[in-house]
Structure 1
Amino acid sequence: MSTVAAPKKISPLLAAYLTSLAAHPLRTKAITTSVLQFLQEVLATHLAGERAPRVSKDAPAYAHALAAAKINPKAYKMALYGFCVSAPLGHTLVGLVQKLFAGKTSLAAKIGQLLLGNLVVAPIQVAVYLTFTAIINGARSVDDVAKTLKAGFFKALQVTWMTLPLTMVIAQRYLAPELWVPFINLVQFCTGTYFNTKLKKIRMAMEAKAKKDEEEKKE
């Protein structure tokens, strides 16, 4: 008598997320990215050692709580960036690559897809991310943005090239398929927090240097 293995049970919350992802991929990705970008900004603010926003003594209790948690307008701007820019851009670029190689399973096609993702898609996403992050963190000119790109572009790209293939290998080898998307989101959240923290430190160093130069000129 043959027996059929019962399907593995997954969390109802995860099941609902995967169902939403299948039915409404762009909307689900946009909401997910928005939330993760918000949390990433708050965490990076703490890690970089940025000062908490000042609030008046007579401000409401919630305002003091937000200030203590270092939740400032930048976090909301990063959430908006995630929803309106990052998620749609990633969805479009990855979708184009998938359409270009749809139905192609040869080794050459797999290598071509990998190269296109790493040499075209990843640089675009990194450049856009660094540009918007620089602006949100205080860049006020094209030169400020260019300095941020120069300081972080290749480092971010190198980490992307190293982590993305490794992430896929780990997911495919050790995780159930339904856990791939959450796992990839977690890895991207960690790497994004790291680079946002680095950018904040670079920005603070640039501001400190500019302030010091200005003081020296006055003397």
Structure 2
Amino acid sequence: MSEIVKDAWKQYLSQLQLHPLRTKAITSGVLAGCSDAIAQKLSGIKKLQLRRLLLLMLYGFAYAGPFGHFLHKLMDIIFKGEKGKKTVAKKVVLEQLTSSPWNNMVFMTYYGLVVEGRPWGFVKSKVRKDYPTVQLTAWRFWPIVAWMNYQYVPVQFRVLFQSFVGSCWAIFLNLKARTVAIKAA
């Protein structure tokens, strides 16, 4: 079994080297799909909602993976040659003040319009109502992840790390939403 894992990892590293954007996009899509499948099962959904799963995979593939790829390239350009904890702190602050709010807004809009198929007026109202809470919650969790990512993770694995943690985060949020819905019922 360990030979299979070693070979798969070797192949992944090769693809990451040859086709970094494509590999990160596919990885992000697959992790988003796995996350949603787990979240659906843990939240008590009897039959897997395949459409929802595929739309979340599409989000990971078409947006989250490529966005992360180019974000980390941009960070390397902005902080070219800078090292140390001060630079890591600057990267975390910059990410949390720019891409974190943007990504939450994009995801909430995508989820409402595309995944749930809601009308624009409903989605706009829901985002207006829920966005501040979502962003404040994100600022309690994601700076720690960003710090670890910039401090300890090699640049080629940052999107993988972020996508993996994002998958765990999505499962947590799904379960939290289910708990709130059960309490309300």
TM bin (shorter chain): 0.7 to 0.9
Normalised to the residue count of structure 2, the TM-score between the two structures is 0.73
Judge conservation of contact 2:89–2:147 (CA < 8 Å) in 1. Answer: no
Corresponding residue for residue 97 of structure 1: 75
**Structure 1 residues 86 and 185, CA, compared in 2 at 3 Å: closer, same or farther?**
closer
Given the superposition, is the C-alpha separation of residues 72 and 116 from structure 1 closer, same or farther in structure 2, using an over 3 Å criterion? same
Structure 1: distance between partners of 2:179 and 2:123: 15
Residue 36 of structure 2 contacts residue 56 of structure 2 at CA under 8 Å; is this kept in 1? yes
Report sequence identity in percent. 24
Equivalent residue number for residue 92 of structure 2 = 114
2:8 paired residue number: 13
**Gap regions ≥5 residues in structure 2:** none
Q: Which residue of 1 aligns with 2:127?
A: 149
Task: Report the 3-state secondary structure (helix = DSSP H, G, I; strand = E; otherwise coil) of the residue aligned with 1:127.
Answer: helix
What root-mean-square deviation, in Å, do the aligned CA atoms of Structure 1 and Structure 2 show?
3.7
Change (3 A) 1:103 1:86: same
Q: For 1:196 and 1:119, how far apart are their aligned partners in 2?
A: 25
| 2:38 aligned residue (30, 43, 56) | 43
Task: Say how many residue pairs are matched.
Answer: 179
**1:80 paired to 2:58:** yes
Q: Which residue of 2 aligns with 1:215?
A: none
Q: Render the CA deviation track for 1:124-173: whole Å, top value 9, x for unaligned.
A: 11111121122244242223222432454334334433333433566789
CA distance in 2, matches of 1:128, 1:81: 10
Question: Would you say the 8 A contact 1:38–1:78 is kept in 2?
Answer: yes
**Greater mean alpha carbon deviation, residues 82-91 or residues 190-199:** 190-199
Separation of aligned partners in 1, 2:33 and 2:54:
6
Partners of 1:187 and 1:75 in 2: how far apart? 18
- In 2, distance between residues paired with 1:29 and 1:38? 14
TM-score (normalizing by structure 1): 0.63
Cα distance 1:47–1:145, how it changes in 2: closer, same or farther (>3 A)? farther
- Judged with a 3 Å threshold, the aligned counterparts in structure 2 of structure 1 residues 11 and 125 are, in CA distance, closer, same or farther, namely same
Higher helix proportion (structure 1 or 2): 2
What CA distance in whole angstroms lies between the structure 2 residues aligned with 1:159 and 1:139? 25
Query: What's the CA shift for 1:76?
Result: 1.1
In the TM superposition, what whole-angstrom CA distance separates every residue of 1:12-50 from its partner, at most 9, and x where no partner exists?
Answer: 322332332233221111111111111222222233444
Report deviation, 1:201: 8.1
Structure whose alpha-carbon radius of gyration is higher: 1
Conserved 8 A contact 1:131-1:145: yes
